[in-house]
């Protein structure tokens, strides 16, 4: 059965243009300060390491919203058959330049053509919070169908109530996107409604560069 097409957010082009504008500054920040590099955060690194250990050998893994490919390359170094996609063409240009041995493509989370039970793992690593509240459940259900039995999904999200409109980011670059914040129990409920079983949850307090966050890992049992 063909799944119902995912609705396209009205502001998708605006969000894409905003990430294209900040891509150069974001990459400079990661390379020069380590911010955004999981190697610099032991708890985030541990989450990705656990994900890698869980999905190794299950089949291809897709990093959705991969940005400049930092996590994609980290997983590839650990022997995972992984590729990355991102909404922003400029982010993908950087990913291909920085990690030429990895596979990357330009695509939105709402436009992926994923066959059922075709993936061993899916990541939405700090990359799905721009999706409107009415669209995120559709995307999660699409990911769940694409996972093989035993496959895992991991995501990281900003925690809070309500939405934040960003008009400036990464050293003063003009942008326009909305950060949709979720309480951990709300996000877990969405993931489980999509057909996955939560297996781990890590709550992160606010730090100097990020507000409170949560990492959730879930499994497709059947």
Tens digits of residue pLDDT in 191-219? 999 999 999 999 999 886 788 999 999 99
Q: Please provide the average confidence, as pLDDT, over all residues in the chain.
A: 94
SS3 205: coil
By percentage, how much of the chain surpasses pLDDT 90? 89
Domains and CATH numbers, the chain: 12-219 (3.40.50.150)
As a whole number of angstroms, the distance between CA 196 and CA 140 comes to 9
Look at 35 and 147; give whichever has higher pLDDT. 147
Reading the block at residue 9, the tokens are: 């957010």
pLDDT tens, residue by residue, 53-106: 999 999 999 999 999 999 999 999 999 999 999 999 999 999 999 999 999 999
CB of 120 closer than 8 Å to CB of 55: yes
CA distance 81 to 125: 17
Give alpha helix (H) positions in the chain: 12-33, 42-55, 70-77, 89-98, 136-146, 184-193
pTM of the model: 0.95
> DSSP secondary-structure letter at 147?
E
Query: What does the DSSP 8-state code read for residue 166?
Result: E
What are the DSSP calls for 60-115, one per residue? -EEEET-TTSHHHHHHHHTT--EEEEES-HHHHHHHHHH-TTSEEEE--TTS----
Tokens standing for residue 161: 């109530």
């Amino acid at each position: 059965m063909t799944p119902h097409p995912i609705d396209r957010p009205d502001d998708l082009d605006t969000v894409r243009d905003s990430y294209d504008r900040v891509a150069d500054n974001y990459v400079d920040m990661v390379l020069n300060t380590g911010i955004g590099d999981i190697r610099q955060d032991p708890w985030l690194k541990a989450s990705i390491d656990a994900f890698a250990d869980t999905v190794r050998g299950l089949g291809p893994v897709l990093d959705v919203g991969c940005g400049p490919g930092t996590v994609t390359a980290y997983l590839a170094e650990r022997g995972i058959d992984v590729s990355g996609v991102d909404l922003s063409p400029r982010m993908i240009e950087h990913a291909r330049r920085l990690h030429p041995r990895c596979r990357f493509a330009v695509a939105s989370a709402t436009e992926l053509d994923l066959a059922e039970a075709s993936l061993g793992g899916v990541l939405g690593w700090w990359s799905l919070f721009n999706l409107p509240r009415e669209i995120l459940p559709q995307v999660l259900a699409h990911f769940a169908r694409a996972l093989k039995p035993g496959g895992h999904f991991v995501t990281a999200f900003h925690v809070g109530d309500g939405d934040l409109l960003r008009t400036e980011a990464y050293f003063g670059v003009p942008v326009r996107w909305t950060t949709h914040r979720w309480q951990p129990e709300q996000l877990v409920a969405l993931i489980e409604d999509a057909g996955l079983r939560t297996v781990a949850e890590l709550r992160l307090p606010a730090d100097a560069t990020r507000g409170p966050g949560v990492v959730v890992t879930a499994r497709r049992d059947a």
